Amino acid sequence: MSINLTRRSALRQGLCGAGGLLLANKLQAALPAAALPVKAKSVIQIFLWGGMSHNDTWDPKPDAGRDYMGEFPDVLPTNVDGIQIGQLFPKLAQQADKYTLIRSMTHGINSHETAAYYMQTGHTRGERLAYPSVGAVFSHFKGLSYKGLIPPYVVLTKAQGRFSEEGFMGPKYKPFATGGDPNAPRFNVEGVVAEGITDERQIARRELLSKADALGKALTSPILNNMQITRDAAYELILGSGKDVFDLSKEDDKLRERYGRNMFGQECLAARRLVESGVPYVVINYPGGWDTHKGHAARMRQQCPSLDQGLAALLEDLSQRGLLDSTLVWCCGEFGRGPKIDWQPPWNGGRNHYGAVFSALVAGGGFRGGTIVGSSTSKGEEVNERPVYPVDLLGSIYQLAGIDTSANLPHPMGLEAPVLPKPSDTVLSGGLLTEIM
Amino acid sequence: MDKKLQVLSALLLLICLTGATESIFERPLPPPAANEIDRLVFAKLSELDITPALCSDAVFVRRVYLDVTGKIPTAAEARSFIDSTYSKNKRSELIDELLERPEFADYWSMKWGDALRIKAEFPVNLWPNAAQIYHHWVRTAIAQNKPYDQFVREMLTASGSNFRVGPVNFYRALQNKTSKGIAAGVALTFMGVRSESWTKEQLDNLAVFFSQVGYKPTNEWKEEHVFWDPLGSTKAAGNSAPGSAIVTTAMIEKNTNPPPENIGGPLNTIFPDGTPVQISPDRDPRVVFADWLITPENPWFTRCAINRIWAWLLGRGIIEEPDNIRDDNPPSNPELLTWLEKEFIRSGYDMNHLIRLILNSKTYQMSSVSNTGNPEAAAQFAAYPLRRLEAEVLIDAINDITGSSDLYTSAIPEPFTYIPKDQSAVSIADGSISSSFLTLFGRSARATGMSDERINRTSPSQQLHMLNSGHIQRKIEQSAKLRKLTVSRGRPEQAVDNLYLTILSRHPTFEEIDIMLAYKGAASQEIVQLKPATAKAKKRTSSKKKKFANKKQPQDWTDMAWALMNSPEFLYRH
């Protein structure tokens, strides 16, 4: 079975080689100078979108009383002396040596979309163009050296949709959203793993496609050539072994149990497999989210155990495989939730949006574990010491990944567009997280 | 009638068989000029020694449906146009008919929606019901063919509630609602100018006209009044709803202009063309600006509109990019641009007249397979350029063909974000109501209103989705509509013809019928391997098609439809 694509195959091999599924336009991408040492080769971002309460989780205030601690007033000791976390996180308590909790994240924004944009780009809104997310910036700087077939910026399983992650850099920096359910018997990654189509049929279809391409036969055009390059790249994944990274059945059942047989747990496992195969940036958008205005306590009781189990298993597994030193994990929402519980109807014990102070968890990739950065006031209402702003957290992540935050991103109008804004009167900063780097 | 059509299609098939492949896409003879557009374009082409080539009827019917209504023609519509020989003017009759359709207003509202940034959520935050009324106002203007000068004036001078007065949302659909931010938005939208190419003074001077725009929240959730506020009573642009005080204090865009120095006194500034002006305190400066902008003599106003509409139809502006009008970015055909400007003004800024004029030109009806490749030729419109279908148009075409629908939702569900299940993607008012398909295929983020914000380039992830996603595969596999076309009584050639007309809007050639009927998916391949084909069997001609057809599995038809829907001919305007 030969496929009549000689001219185009030749083109592809010349231009594309084996790697760079997403970055098909490699020729155009300029290689930015990045001389910084690289500690974090890959990043796993666990985004607790909607905003997870800090009081109920990683910054408990056992003495603050029922209005602040509601149904979860107890704390747990951890495997690090002097560090305590909320009662819903027994498994993470046993891994505290591996991560650092930042208890003084702040930006003061209480609206989802603006805060989600700020936390994932480091830029405040109001500039003319929308900046790209951290993952898209990684795609830009890491995409060239990365040789895998899987796109360099993967989202498990759905894009968050609050803003365009690729920002002004354009669609090739869009994250690849897997779709599907990693906890299902077969993780059907949209477009990569198709239901019920054998490789033989794939090949027959591809041949039919090429034979029936009347326009392609009538016309030689750079647009169609480019389309063919992207198509061939897609087929490398569809027909090749690269997609096996999504086959979670290759993992030991016991390990799968350890991560938790639920969607989030198996997303964590899939994330580990992805970074193991070299993917530079993986996002897990926590399924269901944390926007718990109503039914707060019940949601916490339901979701925290899977977050606890999946994240703890991920950190332990990465560490046991020797991957934690080169894999940076960061986990937080766009903000926290109000420290004071709203007992009034219709909230009935819910917590509202809160950007004045909240918590984040960071681990690996050059971040030291077993410690706490900053603190909030006694009831979790404000930053007590060492404010950490989005530029500080993202700046630290970029530095560990060897990305120069003053480097320019490809701006469509050629304007200056640094990876992160420089701290100034309008760009609030508490400084990089040097105490744990 | 039916018999007549059958004879005609047989005739057409015969023509296809005898001609070369190109006859699918173009006419053999160079066209005569149809109007002044052609005379001006052909003059340039002859300088380049280019002979224009006209597209075929089959190409035309698909192209004009797509460009006017954002939909592909149905099989019946395509067949009746291609096979009809009754009228010599069938192309212009079809143009007239399509401009009357509601889908024309839907599709062109989508185009304007990108430029005017009709989006409920981040970053322009119109809010859902304001996005709806803004869209409704735009769509009504297009459906009624509101003169362009009036269309713009109503936006520039609008006052009132964002929930009740559609055009005030122009002033709210900006990320930056300072007077400079408004000025930059006005320059881009109505002058085709990117203020980055201006000096700081030019932008500052333009901003003076918008220094008295006030935004005032009301007690209704997310309602806001836009009004002339000469006393500066609302200097903070309140883009937040009452009740969310913390949001407001944290993120409000402070008006960075100093408070007006002489409240109640006249304003002095300079128009973008350098003319100084004093605005008396009893006049809304926005009206003064509109009076200057909306005149036949204004060097930006008409030019910007012409260039925008031309680029929507022909893939590139006479000034390219269409919203980047600068002294050092000259038009590729200045005579053409000037003539179109005069004609537009003469017609009373009649947008449909302009569109009709362009569609009827041979320039618009050029082939897309000849005279390509040379960038100079492309700038002179020597060929109709290939462009991938926009995200919304593509998914609507797939849904129309397969008889299925998609779900569109907003990340922030509110009333007005729930829409009927079978609504077309093109007709969605609010850019925040979306699907992962629309995002993947580069739908405009409607953040800036710039023409390059909608991205029709193709990416490997898009290919994975079209070639191999459950989303597309299920639509084809489960399509009762396609099954009816293919697995029915009648000859298999007829089924292939149906498939081509439905998906590609044209008849197949004999060669293509052979390719399709010879196709065997994986299931039948095994049988072939058991009994290796003899030389004799290989020599089977198309007369044996029926035998192939008898072996056809439903999945083979699925794969044929899949192949046509993945062909560049389907994916690209051509």
Which chain B residue lies closest to A195 (C-alpha atoms)? B470
Mean pLDDT of chain A: 89
Please check whether residue A46 is in contact with residue A275, taking contact to mean a CB–CB distance below 8 angstroms: no
Residues of A within 8 A of B560 (CB-CB) are: 208
Rounded CA separation B198/A44 (Å): 43
What letter does residue A26 receive in the DSSP assignment? G
ipTM for the assembly: 0.86
pLDDT for A125 beyond 80 = no
Rounded CA separation B455/B458 (Å): 9
Rounded CA separation A276/A327 (Å): 9
Phi, psi for B423 (deg, rounded to 5)? -70, 140
Rounded CA separation B252/A34 (Å): 36
3-state helix, strand, coil in chain B (%, to 5): 50, 5, 40
Q: Measuring CA to CA, how many Å separate B199 from each of A127, B277, B448?
A: 18, 19, 20
User: A171 vs B434: CB contact, 8 Å cut-off?
Assistant: no
The H-or-E segment that residue A384 falls in is: strand A383-385
DSSP annotation string for B42-89? HHHHHHTT----BBPHHHHHHHHHHHHHSSPPPHHHHHHHHH--S-TT
| Type of residue at A212 | A
Residue A192, judged by CB atoms within 10 A of its CB (0-12, 13-18, 19+), counts as: buried
User: B470 vs A188: CB contact, 8 Å cut-off?
Assistant: yes
Q: Is B176 on the interface with A (CB under 8 A)?
A: yes
Mean pLDDT of chain B: 87
Q: Measuring CA to CA, which residue among B350, B358, B279, B356 is closest to residue B317? A: B358
Rounded CA separation B111/B108 (Å): 5
pLDDT for A126 beyond 90 = no
Interface test with B, best of A208, A210, A415 (most B CBs within 10 A): A208
Q: Measuring CA to CA, how many Å separate A327 from each of A41, A149, A275, A313, B194?
A: 6, 19, 8, 14, 42
pLDDT for A19 beyond 60 = no
Q: Is A39 on the interface with B (CB under 8 A)?
A: no
Give me the residue from A21, A216, A238 closest to B467, CB to CB.
Answer: A238
Per-residue pLDDT at A205: 95
Which chain A residue lies closest to B465 (C-alpha atoms)? A191
Residues of B within 8 A of A213 (CB-CB) are: 567-569
Q: Measuring CA to CA, how many Å separate A252 from each of A246, A247, A256, A274, A365?
A: 14, 12, 6, 16, 26
Rounded CA separation A85/A64 (Å): 15
Rounded CA separation A203/A238 (Å): 10
Measured in angstroms, the CA of A77 and the nearest CA of chain B are apart by 35
Which chain A residue lies closest to B412 (C-alpha atoms)? A162
- Residue numbers of B between 408 and 447 with CB closer than 8 Å to A: 411-412, 434, 436, 439-440, 442, 445, 447
Q: Provide mean pLDDT across the span A90-111.
A: 97
Rounded CA separation B244/A353 (Å): 10
Query: What tens digit of pLDDT does each residue of A163-190 get?
Result: 778 888 877 788 999 999 999 998 989 8
Which chain A residue lies closest to B367 (C-alpha atoms)? A219
User: Which two structure tokens, joined as six digits, stand for A213?
Assistant: 């391409």
Residues of A within 8 A of B246 (CB-CB) are: 108, 110, 355-356
Rounded CA separation B430/B432 (Å): 5
Query: What tens digit of pLDDT does each residue of B55-113 get?
Result: 999 999 999 999 999 999 999 999 999 999 877 899 999 999 999 999 999 999 999 99
User: Which two structure tokens, joined as six digits, stand for A286?
Assistant: 């926590």
Q: Provide mean pLDDT across the span A364-393.
A: 97
The H-or-E segment that residue B278 falls in is: strand B276-279
Interface test with B, best of A127, A155, A223, A358 (most B CBs within 10 A): A223
User: B459 vs A174: CB contact, 8 Å cut-off?
Assistant: yes
Instruction: Give the gyration radius of chain A's Cα atoms.
Output: 23
Which chain A residue lies closest to B566 (C-alpha atoms)? A209
User: A125 vs B123: CB contact, 8 Å cut-off?
Assistant: yes
| Type of residue at B360 | N
Per-residue pLDDT at B105: 98
Which chain A residue lies closest to B559 (C-alpha atoms)? A205
Rounded CA separation B411/B425 (Å): 16
pLDDT band at A12 (very low <50, low <70, confident <90, very high): very low
Which chain B residue lies closest to A190 (C-alpha atoms)? B469
Phi, psi for B450 (deg, rounded to 5)? -75, 150
Tell if the pTM clears 0.95, that is, is over it: no
Per-residue pLDDT at B251: 35
Per-residue pLDDT at A138: 94
Which chain A residue lies closest to B185 (C-alpha atoms)? A128
Give me the residue from A202, A215, A238 closest to B569, CB to CB.
Answer: A215
pLDDT (tens place) for every residue of chain B, 574 residues total: 455 555 555 544 444 444 444 479 998 888 999 999 999 999 999 999 999 999 999 999 999 999 999 999 999 999 999 999 877 899 999 999 999 999 999 999 999 999 999 999 888 889 999 999 999 999 999 999 999 999 999 999 999 999 999 999 999 999 888 999 999 999 999 999 999 889 999 999 999 999 999 999 888 888 999 999 988 777 644 433 333 333 333 334 444 445 555 677 899 999 999 999 999 999 999 999 999 999 999 999 999 999 999 999 999 999 999 999 999 999 999 999 999 999 999 999 999 999 999 999 999 999 999 888 788 899 999 999 999 999 999 999 999 999 999 999 987 778 888 989 889 999 999 999 999 899 899 999 898 899 888 888 888 889 999 999 999 999 999 999 999 988 766 788 999 999 999 999 999 999 999 999 999 875 544 444 334 344 444 444 444 444 444 457 888 999 999 999 999 999 999 9
Measured in angstroms, the CA of B540 and the nearest CA of chain A are apart by 18
Per-residue pLDDT at B457: 84
User: B559 vs A158: CB contact, 8 Å cut-off?
Assistant: no
Q: Is B553 on the interface with A (CB under 8 A)?
A: no
The H-or-E segment that residue B171 falls in is: helix B169-172
Q: Can you name the residues that pair with A156 across neighbouring β-strands? A: A284
Q: Is B467 on the interface with A (CB under 8 A)?
A: yes
Q: Is A160 on the interface with B (CB under 8 A)?
A: yes
pLDDT for A3 beyond 60 = no
Residues of B within 8 A of A12 (CB-CB) are: none
Q: Can you name the residues that pair with B268 across neighbouring β-strands? A: B278
User: B251 vs A158: CB contact, 8 Å cut-off?
Assistant: no
Phi, psi for B161 (deg, rounded to 5)? -80, 140
Q: Measuring CA to CA, which residue among A362, A358, A412, A353 is closest to residue A382? A: A358
Q: Measuring CA to CA, which residue among A109, A112, A82 is closest to residue A97? A: A82
Which chain B residue lies closest to A412 (C-alpha atoms)? B452
Q: Is B374 on the interface with A (CB under 8 A)?
A: no
Distance of CA A38 to the CA centre of its chain: 19
- Residue numbers of A between 372 and 391 with CB closer than 8 Å to B: none
Per-residue pLDDT at B6: 56
Residues of B within 8 A of A221 (CB-CB) are: 372-373, 386
Rounded CA separation B41/B363 (Å): 7
Q: Is B460 on the interface with A (CB under 8 A)?
A: yes
Residues of A within 8 A of B240 (CB-CB) are: 111
User: Which two structure tokens, joined as six digits, stand for A352?
Assistant: 């509202």
The H-or-E segment that residue A43 falls in is: strand A42-47
User: A227 vs B555: CB contact, 8 Å cut-off?
Assistant: no
Q: Can you name the residues that pair with B273 across neighbouring β-strands? A: none
Instruction: Give the gyration radius of chain B's Cα atoms.
Output: 27
User: B460 vs A117: CB contact, 8 Å cut-off?
Assistant: no
Per-residue pLDDT at B564: 98
- For strands A42-47 and A327-332, give the pairing: parallel
User: Which two structure tokens, joined as six digits, stand for B196?
Assistant: 């980055």
User: Which two structure tokens, joined as six digits, stand for B312?
Assistant: 């929507």
User: B572 vs A190: CB contact, 8 Å cut-off?
Assistant: no
Rounded CA separation B47/B350 (Å): 32
Measured in angstroms, the CA of A176 and the nearest CA of chain B are apart by 7
User: B22 vs A218: CB contact, 8 Å cut-off?
Assistant: yes
Q: Measuring CA to CA, which residue among A142, A172, A134 is closest to residue A41? A: A142
Distance of CA B519 to the CA centre of its chain: 35
User: B122 vs A125: CB contact, 8 Å cut-off?
Assistant: yes
Give me the residue from B461, B464, B522 closest to A198, CB to CB.
Answer: B522
Please check whether residue A164 is in contact with residue B441, taking contact to mean a CB–CB distance below 8 angstroms: no
Give me the residue from A125, A201, A216 closest to B521, CB to CB.
Answer: A201
User: Which two structure tokens, joined as six digits, stand for B10?
Assistant: 């047989």
User: B519 vs A194: CB contact, 8 Å cut-off?
Assistant: no
Q: Is A412 on the interface with B (CB under 8 A)?
A: yes
**SS3 of A52-93:** CCCCCCCCCCCCCCHHHHCCCCCEEECCCCCCEEECCCHHHH
- For strands A371-373 and A99-105, give the pairing: parallel
Give me the residue from B525, B567, B574 closest to A212, CB to CB.
Answer: B567
Which chain B residue lies closest to A169 (C-alpha atoms)? B453
How many helices, marked H, and strands, marked E, lie in chain B?
29, 9
Spatial CB neighbours of A190, under 8 Å, sequence gap ≥ 6: A177, A178, A179, A180, B464, B465, B469, B470, B471
Please check whether residue B134 is in contact with residue B145, taking contact to mean a CB–CB distance below 8 angstroms: no
Rounded CA separation A281/A274 (Å): 9
Pairs of CB atoms within 8 A across A/B = 217
